[in-house]
Amino acid sequence: MKLSKTKIFAAALALVFAGAAVTDASAALSRKPQDNFIFASTNDPLGLDPAMVDDNDSGKINCNMYESLLRFEDDSTDVAPSLAESYTVSDDGLTYTFKLRQGVKFHDGTPFNAEAVKFNIVRQLPENAIPKMSYAGLVYGDVAKVDVIDEYTIAITLKKKSTPFLHNIAMMYAAPIISPAALQKYGNNVMEHPCGTGPYKFVAWDKGQQVILTRNEDYWGEPAKVQNLIFRTMPETSARVVALNNGEVDAINGIDANVIPEIKQAGNLIFSSDGMSTQYMFFNTNAAHDSICKDKAVRRAIAKAINVPEMVQSLYKGYDTPATTLLPKFVPGYSSKVKPVAYDPEAAKKELAALGVKHLDIITYSGARIYNTVGGQVLAEAIQAYLKAAGVESTVAVYDWATYKNKLLTDKFDLGFMGWNGDNGDPDNFVNLFASDDIINNQGLWVNQEYRDLVSQGVAMADGPERNAIYEKAEMLIAEEVPFLPISHPQILGAYRPNIENFAIHPVGLTFLSKTVKH
């Protein structure tokens, strides 16, 4: 599928420059190509309100428009100042006092200050949060009160100690500060009317096609290098590769090992780094659903039927590492002592037959994800083949990402697929998922009080061997109970044109593009 460069630029840039009274697409095309960075990926964002989304497709756009009190360093999850210039922590470890950056304005021209920070936090406290705010509990669930000390000083007091708190408020979900004026104007929902303080500001969203941002000329920090960012939605990997190789887009993600030789042959460059992510197959243990997978014996028997290392090598050609635990190896708390259920096809066949497992309903997503470069359907069909060899038939229902997320809430099924790209480098960011009652995070609604108690202990402990031991115990419990089957830890992959400089995908999976240069 060859995309017309004229069509891409005309559609995108006519919108970008409409606000500057340039409505003729041909006039827009006369601008220098290096003013426009076009990034193609698999899925449309779910939305542009960072408090109400949890997907990477939204995050990679939002991180260029919004900022949090703290940020991560460019190539790690070490925290650094952002909208807060400094902070202090009380002796009891409960109160964090932030000195805010002065002279910052939101994209709508309203001032950033302590009242704006309080407004954003209060909006997401448990008594105010709405169901779509899936990160609100993680970031602000332990907040006891928020006090405005003065215009540029704010104090946040927690109910209990939280070691990951500073990392949580550096994230691009829930933590970014949105213009209170915009939230009030649009009914507490800026999913289509984003308004932050970041280096780029919103221009237009043509759903299913593209999101367009332009440089924030009033940005408090170093101005963005490229004038305009155009995030194009192109579901087919082959179409993205052709567009990149033809020079019609500048960078793509959602690639897999099969297309890398073609990309390199065309003279383009590959970005690759160890991903802070895990993909897994989860079992539906939701008490409201009549799934046979509520039985631990069934879950363990299914796990025995699947040769994870063989499948990972076959699908990902060495770009993924078979997972043994939820935590990637470089995340604190990872333990090599944790062993998943071992592949044993003969035992699986006997046990599944004895347990009366004859058919399973599988639900999955269609496109590639940052943690699954071949896409959900390909992975589900590989699992389907292993189940068939073990004497179990199955059906696979495939949906686009947004529909899939809704189906998890409404449909009955036995097996599903998901992944988690770590947001902040803290182990709690992973293990907390399965201590949640939110089906968006804990997709199979597994409930285990011993596990939840371990997670609660871990979040309050200082970093070090004792905290790591808590997470080892939690991972041991997962390996025994098998609420999900770890599949792989993928590398983060992307590709870009040779005239692009400073393109990278951060360890948290986001693309911060203000330093990217197009020659």
Indicate the pLDDT class of residue 275, thresholds 50, 70 and 90.
confident
Residue 136 has pLDDT above 50, yes or no: yes
Q: What is the CATH number of domain 66-193?
A: 3.90.76.10
CATH 3.40.190.10 residue ranges for the chain: 1-63+198-268+497-519
Class of domain 277-491: alpha beta
Residue 24 has pLDDT above 50, yes or no: no
For 58, residues 6+ apart whose C-beta sits below 8 A from its C-beta are 45, 46, 47, 48, 50
The distance from CA 266 to its chain's CA centroid, rounded to whole angstroms, is 30
Report, as an integer, the average pLDDT of 365-388.
93
Q: What is the distance between the alpha carbons of residues 507 and 511, in angstroms, rounded to a whole number?
A: 10
The distance from CA 128 to its chain's CA centroid, rounded to whole angstroms, is 24
- Map tokens 């998943």 to a residue: 340
Indicate the pLDDT class of residue 2, thresholds 50, 70 and 90.
very low
* pLDDT tens-digit series, residues 278-329: 999 999 998 888 899 999 999 999 999 999 999 999 999 988 999 999 999 9
Indicate the pLDDT class of residue 17, thresholds 50, 70 and 90.
very low
* pLDDT tens-digit series, residues 41-88: 988 999 999 999 989 999 999 999 999 999 999 989 999 999 999 999
Tokens of 386: 């292993």
Helix, strand or coil, per DSSP, at residue 63: coil
Report, as an integer, the average pLDDT of 219-227.
96
Tell me the CB-side half-sphere exposure of residue 343, using CA atoms within 13 A. Answer: 14
* pLDDT tens-digit series, residues 139-182: 999 999 999 999 999 999 999 999 999 999 999 999 999 999 99
Q: At what angle do helices 296-304 and 345-354 cross, to 10 degrees?
A: 150
Determine whether domain 1-63+198-268+497-519 maps to CATH 3.20.20.140. Answer: no
Q: Which residues pair with 501 in a beta bridge?
A: 517
- Give 337: exposed, middle or buried? Use CB within 10 Å, 0-12, 13-18, 19+: exposed
* pLDDT tens-digit series, residues 278-288: 999 999 998 88
Residue 372 has pLDDT above 80, yes or no: yes
DSSP codes, 460-478: HSPSSHHHHHHHHHHHHHH
CATH 3.90.76.10 residue ranges for the chain: 66-193
CB 66 within 8 A of CB 198: yes
Can you give 130-192 as a three-state secondary structure string?
Answer: CCCCCCHHHHHCCEEEEEEEECCEEEEEECCCCCCHHHHCCCCCCCCCCCHHHHHHCCCCCCC
Structure confidence at residue 409 (pLDDT): 86
Helix, strand or coil, per DSSP, at residue 376: helix
* pLDDT tens-digit series, residues 340-352: 999 999 999 999 9
CATH 3.10.105.10 residue ranges for the chain: 277-491
CB 106 within 8 A of CB 120: no
Q: What is the mean pLDDT of the chain?
A: 91
